[in-house]
Chains A and B, each alone.
Chain A
Amino acid sequence: MKGKGTSDTVSVVDGDGNQCCWWWWLVHKGTTTTFLIVGLFALLVRAAVSLHPYSGFANPPKFGDYEAQRHWMEITINLPIQEWYRNSTSNDLSYWGLDYPPLTAYQSFIHGLFLRFVHPESVSLFTSRGHESYLGKLLMRWTVLSSDLLILFPAVLYFVIVRYGQPSRSRKSDIGWHIAMLLLNPCLILIDHGHFQYNCISLGFTIGAVAGVLSGKDLVACVLYCLALNHKQMSAYFAPAFFSHLLGKCLRRKHPLLEVSKLGFYVLGTFAALWWPYLYSKDSILEVLSRLAPFERGIFEDYVANFWCASSIIIKWKRLFTPESLRLLSLIATVITCLPSMIQQIKSPSNRGFLYGMLNCSFAFYLFSFQVHEKSILLPLLPASLLAMEEPFIFKWFMQFAMLSMFPLICRDGLVVPYFALLALFILIFDAPGQQRVKEGNYLYNYLGATTVRLVLFCYFILHIVYLTVNPPEKYPFLFEAIIMNVCFSQFVLVTLGCNIKQWVLNKPTKLEVDKKFI
């Protein structure tokens, strides 16, 4: 063995200067290469998940989200832009009518062009309803993959570069870990590449906006956040956080009014550009707006781990109140729960406090607002994953229960196998060997205690097995769903309570400098 001796000495030298480098083979080249490797792995996982069935697979007449997305492509490429949101003979809004803001429509249009180029039958007007084919599925899956690659991945890279800058050697593997946590979010992968949606686009823009805020480029942040908002109106869950943080920042500058109006100008400009085709008359704007606000639906659908659904076991909200009063009630509840973190951010805006504020505001919306889907848990999950380095335990705990809260949906979609594979992969990578992260006493962990944590985890796995194998009693066909949702709700409340307190405790005004050092 010629080279053996020398290579040994080299590794000794390296090992001496770099104790923690279990991950040296992954991270030694710098952030971009690490990102490339983790990104390729994340893409591989996504491509593998996309082999599995989508929502509403072979399930006529309404199918599922996959058919909705395909139908929007069909509508947008075949009808003039003014008719996209209008009920007409060629656009039956009761069959998966477009109910997302214009950016989603434009995205459908671009993807529709691609589908029409390769496989015209899959997006032809009328005749393609319920179209399902090998090639059709493949092309649709590839549109999600490419959206992910083009929007979420660069946004994550941007965020990581802004957040960590030029890291010291010992931090490198931490960064690799955080990139993996951001890119291998099992909930997001399951919903986008399994169930079939394009959350990666709006969440990607949001991450970009967060990176803009963290790097002090507030105008970039504004534009990116407006894009997110115009792709999915659910991004409004983050609006209070963005608003209060940016307002708080502006108030501290020399000319607060000028700064605020500058931001307002950029927001209005972005909106105007995106809504341009509908700005010709008031009616057409209202037409689109009415599609975006699903007030005619109930306060919750199916089973969601939020306050209304969890408490409906005791209080039958839907029977006791009219939809109008429920709407008002939910609005008040949401605003009240948002307020603490908003006030904190206006009083003393800080980068770290902003991320906590995002988490708390989006949680407030998820737990208390009107018409929440189980998939909306992705929104609070995003700031939690951005905070993964500060709050590893909270993040893991939250992720596990977020997965559980989607489990009934996943079962309906026939995605149980990827569900467990992704959950296992997440836990494996979260607890990857060779990390130096000190498992410091976390408040949630301390509050619950080690025994309770284990007990809850045990119940967690039992619940999965019970849900899969046991038939519910005939009297209560949704017994297990209700139990799952209540368990998840209780944990979510714990998480957000803790994060609210943390936001207030951590960020005294003097913390700003400390923050800067940290970030």
Chain B
Amino acid sequence: MGKQKLSSKGVQNSGCTKATLWWFYLVAACIKVLLFPSYRSTDFEVHRNWLAVTHSLPLSQWYFDETSPWTLDYPPFFAHFEHFLSMFAHLIDPKIVHLQEGLNYSANTVVYFQRGTVILSDLCLLYGVYRLTRNLDSRKQKLIWLSAIWSPMLFIVDHVHFQYNGFLIGILLISLSYLEEGRDLLGGFFFAVLLCLKHLFAVAAPVYFVYLLRHYCRGGIGRGFTRLLIMGGMVAAVFAAAFGPFFHLGQIQQVIQRLFPFGRGLCHAYWAPNFWVFYIMSDKGLAFILRRLGFNVQTPTATFTAGLVGDSSPFSVLPQVTPLVTFMMVLLALSPCLLKAWKDPKPQMISRWVAYAYTCGFLFGWHVHEKASLHFVIPLAIVAVQTLEDAKHYFLLSIVSCYSLFPLLFEAQEYPIKVLLLLLHSILMWSGFSAQFPDGAETARAPTGHHTEKKVDQRKSNGGFVIGWIERMYLIGLVIVEIWGQFLHPLLLGDKLAFAPLMLISIYCALGIMYSWIWQLTFIAKSP
């Protein structure tokens, strides 16, 4: 009888899955619309300028225009995307796409239009999430939707700060969903498209390469080689479609220069919480100790954020870091994952591997933005419901990475919003995970098959979704860091050491992200 009910429910579910997904999207959209007048960063003007550039100029000048300091530095497909949007912008208010008059335009029309396009482009994320979760049971689906579609990080970065990450990550998820289904060619195609939209996603390219080589191009030398050719041809075609016109115009060097501005420094103005924070801090610490010991240590003139100015190193003691070093470190960190993908390319693991690749890129990369943590947090949300360990890890990671975005919204007006977003997310995740992994009835490590249901039901003291004491202390520390930075520091120290609260956030969050990296690494290494 129970089974009958279940099956009828199942039929119902497949019918209303889409409706439910739409419901999640629309509720989020309402909040996003309410956030229209909130603070917007210079990225807003950047994207407006790109609308103007792509609308008013021919393709041949897209990458040469310097009317605004915010020049086009995304790959061609993104420029085409902006061009597509600019057609509607022109209908709504021609001033938006005017190259000179539109500079720093901030009327309601442009704000509503641009913010509206972000909300609509999130449909891409919706589709990606739908493709990845449509065969899961409805409880897991809802948990994933909760964390991915209502991700507080996307709210902060896309809908307040202003960017199109939801759209781009949506394409990544579509690609992953095809790979998980075993339709490698389409998966590769969408990843190639993604690279031509935003090249920062290229960090996962080695994983894709190894995986596709071993999974798609298998089955003997002849068949493998043909498939390699097919895949290679397809990727080449996508890149040709994107970069071909510029190659034809002889502008490829200019495009490359715009895309890879290595003139920027190791760190962004606000240090992303990654490995280099520790490197810089230990350099400072060593210099301090050495000076105390009587050594003559010169204070460096260059800064970490300003790039490689001349030959002077920004470090006092430790060796200089160059883009090549960071590149090698990312590859090194990736290698265990590549090895696994080479040995046994399993479609179920690809989301984890790609997320891991983005984690490595985030930790060891050159000039990383704190926003890049989105690239691995959202894909990890998809796998977070698989095991209890995953859930615990994701719970911590999503909170830490969301918190690390707090400095993006530095104005007082958005303070309650970012805090409420994070609190809501954490309590929803906590409530959802503890419902998914009820206490005592579930143990992640219980080998399946050996136990019957009743045996699993036997109470085990630490079975449910309980956060360990180290994690708990860490999260409490997060609250303390926030209280210190927001209230105690200005009260006690005033304007002295104004950079300290931000630095503290960087260091503290870097600890959390490092933990997540190690956790992912061991998970991947241990996986059979």
Q: Which A residues form the contact surface with B (CB < 8 A)? A: 1-16, 19, 22, 24-26, 28-29, 33, 36-37, 40-41, 43-45, 47-49, 51-52, 134-135, 138, 142, 145, 417-418, 420-422, 424-425, 428-429, 432-434
Residues of B within 8 A of A15 (CB): 6, 9, 139
Interfacial residues of chain B within 105-155, with CB under 8 A of chain A in the complex? 112, 137-140, 142-143, 146
A28–B436 Cα gap in the complex (Å)? 10
Do B441 and A10 touch (CB < 8 A)?
Answer: yes
Chain A, residue nearest B39 (CB): A51
Do B6 and A16 touch (CB < 8 A)?
Answer: yes
Contact of A25 among B2, B23, B348, B431 (CB under 8 A): B431
Do A10 and B438 touch (CB < 8 A)?
Answer: yes
Mark the stretch among B282-290, B398-406, B412-420 that contacts chain A: B412-420
Mark the stretch among B24-32, B53-61, B91-99, B367-375 that contacts chain A: B24-32
Q: Given that A16-B5, A25-B431, A138-B412 are known contacts, is A421 also in contact with B33, CB under 8 Å in the complex? A: yes
A320–B446 Cα gap in the complex (Å)? 85
A237–B348 Cα gap in the complex (Å)? 63
A187 to chain B, nearest CB (A): 15
A29 to chain B, nearest CB (A): 6
A25 to chain B, nearest CB (A): 4
In the assembled complex, 30 residue pairs joining A and B whose CB atoms fall closer than 8 Å, in A order, are A3-B387, A3-B388, A3-B442, A5-B448, A6-B444, A6-B446, A9-B453, A10-B437, A13-B453, A15-B9, A19-B5, A22-B20, A25-B436, A29-B431, A37-B424, A43-B420, A44-B31, A44-B420, A48-B31, A48-B417, A51-B35, A51-B36, A51-B37, A52-B37, A135-B412, A417-B112, A422-B34, A425-B27, A433-B23, A434-B20
A sample of 6 more A-B contacts (CB under 8 A), given A2-B445, A16-B2, A24-B139, is A16-B6, A25-B428, A29-B431, A37-B431, A422-B34, A428-B23
Residue B449 at the A interface, CB < 8 A?
yes
Chain A, residue nearest B390 (CB): A3
Residues of A within 8 A of B2 (CB): 16
Do A40 and B424 touch (CB < 8 A)?
Answer: yes
Do A5 and B449 touch (CB < 8 A)?
Answer: yes
Residues of B within 8 A of A421 (CB): 30-31, 33-34
Residue B488 at the A interface, CB < 8 A?
no
Chain A, residue nearest B421 (CB): A44
Contact of A26 among B30, B389, B431 (CB under 8 A): B431
A413 to chain B, nearest CB (A): 13
Contact of B387 among A1, A19, A36 (CB under 8 A): A1
Residues of B within 8 A of A3 (CB): 386-389, 442, 444-446, 448
Most buried by B among A1, A7, A9, A36: A7
Do A418 and B442 touch (CB < 8 A)?
Answer: no
Chain A, residue nearest B27 (CB): A428
6 pairs of A and B residues whose beta carbons are closest in the complex: A5-B448, A3-B387, A48-B34, A25-B432, A425-B30, A3-B444
Residues of A within 8 A of B20 (CB): 22, 433-434
Do B444 and A424 touch (CB < 8 A)?
Answer: no
Residue B339 at the A interface, CB < 8 A?
no
B323 to chain A, nearest CB (A): 38
Pair count A-B, CB < 8 A: 156
Contact of A10 among B112, B348, B387, B442 (CB under 8 A): B442
Size of B's binding interface in residues, CB under 8 A: 61
A51–B137 Cα gap in the complex (Å)? 39
Chain A, residue nearest B386 (CB): A1
C-beta contact mask, B13-50 vs A, less than 8 Å → 1, else 0? Answer: 00010011001001100110111111000000000000
A1 to chain B, nearest CB (A): 6
B432 to chain A, nearest CB (A): 4
Residue B230 at the A interface, CB < 8 A?
no
B479 to chain A, nearest CB (A): 16
Residues of A within 8 A of B445 (CB): 2-3
Do B453 and A417 touch (CB < 8 A)?
Answer: no
Chain B, residue nearest A134 (CB): B413
Residue B435 at the A interface, CB < 8 A?
yes
A138–B411 Cα gap in the complex (Å)? 11
Do B387 and A40 touch (CB < 8 A)?
Answer: no
Interfacial residues of chain B within 226-242, with CB under 8 A of chain A in the complex? none
A61–B445 Cα gap in the complex (Å)? 71
Do B434 and A29 touch (CB < 8 A)?
Answer: yes
Do A428 and B30 touch (CB < 8 A)?
Answer: yes
Residue B329 at the A interface, CB < 8 A?
no
Residues of A within 8 A of B456 (CB): 6, 9-10
A301 to chain B, nearest CB (A): 29
A432–B23 Cα gap in the complex (Å)? 7
B398 to chain A, nearest CB (A): 15
Chain A, residue nearest B432 (CB): A25
A6–B424 Cα gap in the complex (Å)? 28
Residues of B within 8 A of A40 (CB): 420, 423-424, 427
Residue B443 at the A interface, CB < 8 A?
yes
B93 to chain A, nearest CB (A): 16
Chain B, residue nearest A23 (CB): B142
Do A428 and B31 touch (CB < 8 A)?
Answer: no
Most buried by A among B30, B389, B443, B451: B30
Residues of A within 8 A of B143 (CB): 25
A25–B429 Cα gap in the complex (Å)? 9
Interfacial residues of chain B within 456-515, with CB under 8 A of chain A in the complex? 456
Residues of B within 8 A of A9 (CB): 453, 456
Contact of A6 among B16, B36, B448 (CB under 8 A): B448
Do B27 and A2 touch (CB < 8 A)?
Answer: no
Q: Given that A44-B424, A428-B27 are known contacts, is A4 also in contact with B34, CB under 8 Å in the complex? A: no
A135–B411 Cα gap in the complex (Å)? 10
Residues of A within 8 A of B424 (CB): 37, 40-41, 44
Q: Given that A1-B386, A2-B387 are known contacts, is A7 also in contact with B442, CB under 8 Å in the complex? A: yes
A58–B1 Cα gap in the complex (Å)? 67
B332 to chain A, nearest CB (A): 28
A422–B30 Cα gap in the complex (Å)? 7
B348 to chain A, nearest CB (A): 7
Do A7 and B417 touch (CB < 8 A)?
Answer: no
Residues of A within 8 A of B436 (CB): 7, 11, 25
Do B386 and A8 touch (CB < 8 A)?
Answer: no
Q: Given that A6-B442, A37-B427 are known contacts, is A45 also in contact with B386, CB under 8 Å in the complex? A: no
Do A11 and B23 touch (CB < 8 A)?
Answer: no
Contact of B444 among A2, A11, A12, A25 (CB under 8 A): A2
Residues of A within 8 A of B413 (CB): 51, 134, 138
Chain A, residue nearest B2 (CB): A16
A148–B389 Cα gap in the complex (Å)? 39
Do A11 and B388 touch (CB < 8 A)?
Answer: no
A28–B441 Cα gap in the complex (Å)? 15
A187–B83 Cα gap in the complex (Å)? 40
A49–B26 Cα gap in the complex (Å)? 17
Do B19 and A433 touch (CB < 8 A)?
Answer: yes
